[in-house]
Structure 1
Amino acid sequence: MCKVFIIDSEKRPLNPIHPAQARQLLRKGKAAVFKRFPFTIIVKESSTDATVSPLRLKLDPGAKYTGIALVSDANGEVVFAAELKHRGFAIRDALTSRRQLRRSRRNRKTRYRQPRSLNRTRPQGWLTPSLQSRIENIKTWVSRLRKVAPITAISQELVKFDMQLIRKPEIEGKEYQQGTLAGYETRQYLLEKWHRECAYCGIKDVPLQIEHIHPRSKGGSNSITNLTLSCEKCNLKKGTKNIRDFLKKDKSRLEKILALTKKPLADAAAVNTTRFVLLEVLKLTVLPVETGSGGLTKFNRTQQALNKSHWLDACCVGVSTPILKIKGIKPLLITANGHGTRQSCRTDKYGFPVRHCSRYKFHFGFQTGDIVKAVVNKGKKFGTYIGRIATRATGSFNISTTQGLIQGISYKYCKTIHKKDGYAYVM
């Protein structure tokens, strides 16, 4: 079970405590709820002799998800775990849609707007908005966790795949590739590229072997572009046959394999583009930053017989990984939703305005996206409702609960639990 973060009266982080201890402190009035996500309490009276044990923040950055974990190097206890879902692809699609709308307006009989793509300069180190959002999401959560936990070191998975070692095993010396990590980088890359299934028959959840598409006996190389994954049955059946002869009766699968051999990993490309930018951001925290490869992460996870997940990968990042204690840990699922839009009106798919947007973000102290608790003690809507609200200028709000949408709840019955911060949460 994830522990509860606790800070003293001066907002300095203390050792995270068991949820039962937190409930006891809240029940006795010695502490109060400081933040809901991640759940943090603040004690009303601080003790000056409190000793704090250091924690290590571990990150497994990905194109769609980033694994986050807080681990004690001393005893291997996992204090906190989370999986952060990025919105990079949503940003990319929104920018594409906006660009298409601008272009369509120029082709219609409307006021002409000159393209303004050439009157802007990009600063050094510029990243596309979809990639920059991933950096900002991680930066935000590193900052938030540092405020509530005694973090003294950071571990980051710097490279998804060590491409230099895959192509040239001797580049860092043969001892690295031929030691305990031999084959882990190459195999991990192929598992993701070929979707963890046999390339020839599509079977999953069976032992897969690394197979040469163009046989070595006929001049095939050990290049990563000539490798795929195959089950034992297909591997023996293919033998030294040319792939075109082996799959001559299955043209669609042959074309798919040939197309995929030279196709780069889009997700890996996104990670590789942002990895060193993220490293520089983490170094600005002035904390020691440890880095490791994806192959090392998988090796650590395999050695401890852990399942494949984003937060467990984060726990296994770096050579500092101890024997982990993960019993009862349930990760916090975080989804980046952004802070809304600045559009003054909504448009249809052709770019024409169809709906007006309120000029004001706040109504009666609330804004759309706040998590509230509404206790209605009379009328048809009698009951208690907890969820996110959609505000109106009239003061009649809608609340999205786990049971469904509740409409027409007055702001007078609502009490804020968690202010909108651009993220959605699920335990």
Structure 2
Amino acid sequence: MSKVFVLDTNKQPLNPIHSGRARMLLSQGKAAVFRGFPFTLILKEEVSSPDVKPLRIKIDPGAKTTGLALVNDKTGEVVWVAELQHRDFQIRDALTSRRQLRRFRRSRKTRYRKPRFLNRTRPKGWLPPSLNSRVANILTWVKRLSSLCQINAISQELVRFDTQQMENPEISGTGYQQGTLAGYEIREFLLEKWNRTCAYCGAKDTKLEIEHIQPRSKGGSNRVSNLCLACVPCNREKGNQDIKDFLKGKPDLLKRILGQAKRPLADTSAVNATRWNLYDNLRQTSLPVEVGTGGLTKYNRTIRGLDKTHYWDAACVGASTPERLITSGIKPLLISAKGHGTRQQCRTNKLGFPVRYCSRTKFHKGFQTGDIVKAVVTSGKKVGTYVGRVATRATLRFNISTKDGLVQGISHKYCKHIHKKDGYAYAY
């Protein structure tokens, strides 16, 4: 498990401590639980002139999942890691559904509607709501972690792939491509584009080689649009054959590969659209911001022998990565963005007609939908212990979403707060 954050009685951040020491402070009555996720203690006394070691927060932004890590630059110790799962396209789909319902309702009105004055201009730096949500999630957690520990620097993976270098290796000299990062930018791009599988047989979890779709001996180039990934047996079997000859008996596979080769990465486009906005917002924190590329991140992770995960990628972002990372005992916190509910006054059917009323009462017996609770049921048909996000009901019989599924009809009398609603769900 990652280390536990500690605050003194004035809510000033101290050095994170081992979970064993945290248990000792709780058992001795010297501290209390301040926050459930990430787990934070608050001491019952003030600490005068503490020796707090600064940490660096490292961010590996992604379209669906962002990796976060706190690293001590001097000792190389990884203090805390997490994976932040974004709402992806849920926001876009919700806005699309609302727009369709509104337009359908308006089309049923036969009266003339005067055109609305076009005064809804977009401000500078505007992002679509689905993309802006990704940036807001990351900034929220940078702010939270800054209040729980001493952060003195930020590292961000700004450029996932250096497309100019991939298209033209001579753009700034051959030294860039022939140095220690040779091939890492292109290979990382291809791994993402082809979903880490063989383009010909779909094999996973095996050694993959960079393959020229149109062989160079027959006029093929080194452009990324002519490259794919192939396992060793498929690469040897194809050799220098034309892909149309190699897949003449599989027209569907041939069509898919040729289409995938020219298709851009949708997730990469989302990251590229938000990276500079995130960078500008991080600079406003008045902390020094270091940037790095995806190729450098993979190189750092490879030479340190770490697995391919979002949080280890985050720990390896930037040139400031220590030569030796201490990763023993680290268990990532899995964070999922859930939003803060809806302001709809009623629920509608597929045609946009109201079908039922939405209660405006948010709290029931001190609980609200989105709280993380622990319910210990001692009698009835549902005896057991349940932990998860709660959905409150006016009947005072709540639903709890646990890791094993949804449990319905749990009385509020059995529920106890673990973490107040903050728009996120958590797991280890």
Q: TM-score, normalised by structure 1?
A: 0.93
Q: Deviations over 1:60-79 (max 9, x none)?
A: 00000000111111111111
1:105: how far off? 2.2
Asked if structure 2 preserves the Cα contact closer than 8 Å seen for 1:106 and 1:113, the reply is no
Q: Which residue of 2 aligns with 1:30?
A: 30
Encode CA deviations 1:330-370: one digit per residue, 9 max, x unaligned: 10000000000000011122222222111222234331111
Structure 1 stretches of 5 or more lacking a match? none
Alpha-carbon distance between aligned partners in 2 of 1:302 and 1:417, rounded to the nearest angstrom: 38
Deviation at 1:118, TM superposition (A): 4.5
> Shift of the alpha carbon at 1:385?
5.1
Q: 1:113 to 1:313 in 2, by over 3 A?
A: farther
CA distance in 1, matches of 2:93, 2:12: 41
The one-letter code matched in structure 1 to 2:409 is: Q
Residue in structure 1 matched with residue 151 of structure 2 by the alignment: 151
Residue 59 of structure 2 is aligned to residue 59 of structure 1: yes
SS of match in other structure, 1:135: helix
In the alignment, the residues of structure 1 paired with residue 112 and residue 105 of structure 2 have an alpha-carbon distance, to the nearest angstrom, of: 8
Deviations 1:262-292 (A, max 9, x none): 1000000000110111011111111111111
> CA distance change for structure 1 residues 272 and 380 in 2, over 3 Å: closer, same or farther?
closer
Structure 1: which amino acid aligns with 2:254? L
Partner Cα distance (1:361, 1:136) in 2: 24
State the shift of 1:11 in Å. Answer: 1.0
* Structure 1 position 202, deviation (Å): 2.3
Structure 2 distance, partners of 1:118, 1:128, is 19
> What residue is the counterpart of 1:94 in the other structure?
94
Distance in 1 separating the partners of 2:116 and 2:88: 24
Aligned to 2:369: 368
Q: Which runs of 5+ in 2 are unaligned?
A: none
Q: 1:336 to 1:386 in 2, by over 3 A?
A: same
State how 1:25-174 maps to structure 2 within 5 Å.
Answer: 25-108=25-108, 118-174=118-174
SS at match of 1:324: coil
Whole-Å separation in 2 of the counterparts to 1:224 and 1:51 = 51
Alpha carbons of structure 1 residues 24 and 255: separation in structure 2 relative to 1, 3 Å? same
The 1:188–1:298 alpha-carbon spacing in structure 2 relative to 1, beyond 3 Å, is same
Using the TM superposition, give the Cα deviation of residue 375 of structure 1 relative to its aligned residue in structure 2, in angstroms: 5.9
Q: 1:389 maps to what in 2?
A: 390
Secondary structure, counterpart of 1:13 in structure 2: coil
The RMSD of aligned alpha carbons is: 2.3
Q: Which residue of 2 aligns with 1:332?
A: 333
Residue pair 2:389, 2:425 contacting (<8 A) in 1 also: no
Q: 1:400 to 1:216 in 2, by over 3 A?
A: closer
SS of 1:34's partner is strand
**In 1, distance between residues paired with 2:236 and 2:376?**
67
Deviations 1:211-233 (A, max 9, x none): 22222223222111111122333
Any idea what SS the aligned residue of 2:347 has?
Answer: strand
Counterpart-to-counterpart distance in 1, 2:385 and 2:335: 25
- Paired with 1:115 and 1:258, the residues of 2 have a C-alpha distance of 46
Match of 2:183 in 1: 183
Measure how far apart 1:208 and its partner are: 2.0
Query: 2: CA distance between counterparts of 1:111 and 1:369?
Result: 43
Determine helix, strand or coil for the equivalent of 2:361.
coil
Cross-structure match for 2:357: 356
TM-score of the superposed pair, with normalisation by structure 2: 0.93
1:401 and 1:215 map into 2 onto residues whose CA distance is 52
Does structure 2 retain, via aligned residues, the 8 Å contact 1:399–1:409?
Answer: no
Q: Which amino acid aligns with 2:316?
A: C
CA deviations over 1:375-403 (Å, ceiling 9, x no partner): 67788877765443322345444444556
Name the residue aligned to 2:250: 250
Residues 1:420 and 2:418 are matched in the alignment? no
SS in 1 for 2:260: helix
**Structure 1 residues 315 and 110 mapped into 2: Cα distance closer, same or farther (>3 Å)?**
farther
Q: CA deviation at 1:306?
A: 1.1
Q: Which shows bigger deviation, 102-111 or 79-88?
A: 102-111
Paired with 2:212 and 2:376, the residues of 1 have a C-alpha distance of 65
Matched-pair contact (CA < 8 Å) for 1:373–1:386: yes
Structure 2 residue matching 1:11: 3-state secondary structure = coil
Q: Secondary structure at the match of 1:92?
A: helix
- CA apart distance, 1:22: 0.9
Q: CA deviation at 1:13?
A: 0.8
Q: Give the aligned residue type for 2:65.
A: Y
- Give the 3-state SS of the residue equivalent to 1:3 in structure 2: coil
Q: Give the distance between the partners of 2:122 and 2:286, measured in 1 at CA.
A: 28
- After TM superposition, give the deviation of residue 106 of structure 1 in Å: 3.3
Q: Is the 8 A contact 1:346 1:356 kept in 2?
A: yes
Percent of pairs with identical residues: 65
Tell me the distance in 2 between the aligned counterparts of 1:15 and 1:72.
11
1:426: Cα distance to partner?
0.5
Give 1:107 shift: 3.6
CA distance in 1, matches of 2:258, 2:315: 36
Closer, same or farther: CA 197–396 of 1 in aligned 2, 3 Å: closer
- Residues of 1 paired with 2:302 and 2:333: CA distance? 23
Whether the 8 Å contact between 1:371 and 1:417 is mirrored in structure 2 is yes
Q: In the alignment, does 2:22 pair up with 1:16?
A: no
Q: Aligned pair 1:290/2:301, yes or no? A: no
In the alignment, the residues of structure 1 paired with residue 98 and residue 224 of structure 2 have an alpha-carbon distance, to the nearest angstrom, of 38
**Partners of 2:140 and 2:375 in 1: CA distance:** 29
Change (3 A) 1:112 1:83: farther
Mapped partners of 1:80, 1:247: distance in 2: 48
Residue of structure 1 equivalent to 2:231 = 231
Structure 2 vs 1, CA of residues 384 and 250 (structure 1 numbering), >3 Å: closer, same or farther? Answer: closer
Taking the aligned partners of 1:44 and 1:351, their CA distance within structure 2 comes to 55
